[in-house]
Amino acid sequence: MREILMRKLRLFALATIALFGVTSSANAATTILATNDFVGITFWVVSMGMIASTVFFFAERGTVAQAWRPSVSVAGLVTGVAFVHYMYMRGIWVETGETPTVYRYIDWLITVPLQIVEFYLILAAVRKVPVSMFWRLLVASLVMLVFGYLGEAGYISALLGFVVGTAAWIYILFELFSGEAGKAMKSSGNKALKTAFTAMRMIVTIGWAIYPLGYLLGYLAGGVDTNTLNIIYNLADFVNKIAFGLVIWSCAMQNTSVSKR
């Protein structure tokens, strides 16, 4: 009974957040968004996908084993934070036609470190892992984003921001493939964990490659127009955040089913 009450309270909180985000830019959405504004449409589609995923993850949190609940909760936080930011970004785009760079980086500064920390959380759900892994992944993700923003916002050389940010991303990949995290996954003996870890790692490798490429080709080289770049970023966020969370939920459900046998 207490668990059902807590779940209802969480869903109520999510609904409140959703209502706040929707009403803050509802007028812009209904009066300015044009049928041929494909960038604005992708902002809208991603917003709805994020809130739907958030409700799903928090509703499902109570169905997984205790050890997996932090992972599923963080997946819900990632899409929930992204939803709020996408509502603001969509409003800025449809009203001004300007790229909401600041809001996009604020979103990434919160959601990307949470996603990287998920690798530690899913490993910790099945085996003992050192806390130092958590901090290495977290700091590397923050370095990647902070330098990317400083370079794109003009606080430092754009090239320096790109180089340092990309180096931090490569370090994260090293940790996940050949470092302590990758070794812990291989020796875990958990088939569902290995499948989820591998899928999440591919998202960080292939899906996240879109962002430095967009920085390089769109911002540094100026070879991609802002409309195309925003559509690519939006669709990338849709897949990289929602699919990432679904992989974690699927792994949590498989491990919960095994533990109940």
pLDDT band at 256 (very low <50, low <70, confident <90, very high): confident
Distance of CA 182 to the CA centre of its chain: 20
Q: What is the pLDDT of residues 88-119, one digit of tens each?
A: 888 888 888 887 788 889 999 999 999 999 99
> What's the sign of the alpha-carbon dihedral 192, 198, 202, 208?
positive
3-state secondary structure the chain: CHHHHHHHHHHHHHHHHHHHHHHHHHHHHHHCCCCCCHHHHHHHHHHHHHHHHHHHHHHHHHHCCHHHHHHHHHHHHHHHHHHHHHHHHHHHHHHHCCCCHHHHHHHHHHHHHHHHHHHHHHHHCCCCCCHHHHHHHHHHHHHHHHHHHHHHHCCCCHHHHHHHHHHHHHHHHHHHHCCHHHHHHHCCCCHHHHHHHHHHHHHHHHHCCHHHHHHHHHHHCCCCCHHHHHHHHHHHHHHHHHHHHHHHHHHHHHHHHHHHC
The sign of the CA dihedral 13, 15, 17, 20 is negative
Backbone angles phi, psi at 76, to 5 degrees: -70, -35
What whole-number percentage of the chain has pLDDT above 90? 55
pTM for the whole structure: 0.85
Task: Report the number of distinct structural domains present in the chain.
Answer: 1
Quick one: pLDDT at residue 167? Answer: 96
Percentage of the chain lying above the pLDDT 70 cut: 84
CATH number at residue 225: 1.20.1070.10
Q: Which of 43-47, 121-125, 222-226, 249-253 is predicted with the least confidence, judged by mean pLDDT?
A: 222-226
* The pLDDT of residue 26: 46
Q: Are 216 and 162 in contact (CB under 8 A)?
A: yes
Confidence of residue 154 (pLDDT cuts 50, 70, 90): confident
pLDDT tens-digit profile of 230-245?
Answer: 888 899 999 999 999 9
Q: How far apart are CA 237 and CA 253, in angstroms?
A: 24
**pLDDT mean across residues, the chain:** 85
Range of the domain at 82: 2-260
What's the pLDDT at 261?
Answer: 47
Residue 188 predicted with pLDDT over 60: yes
Measured between alpha carbons, how far is residue 186 from residues 192, 201, 251 in Å? 12, 13, 16
> In this predicted structure, which of 24-38, 116-130, 151-165, 187-201 has the lowest mean pLDDT?
24-38
With H, G, I as helix, E, B as strand and everything else as coil, classify residue 126: coil
Interatomic CA distance for residues 36 and 192, integer angstroms: 43
Answer yes or no: is pLDDT of 3 > 60. no
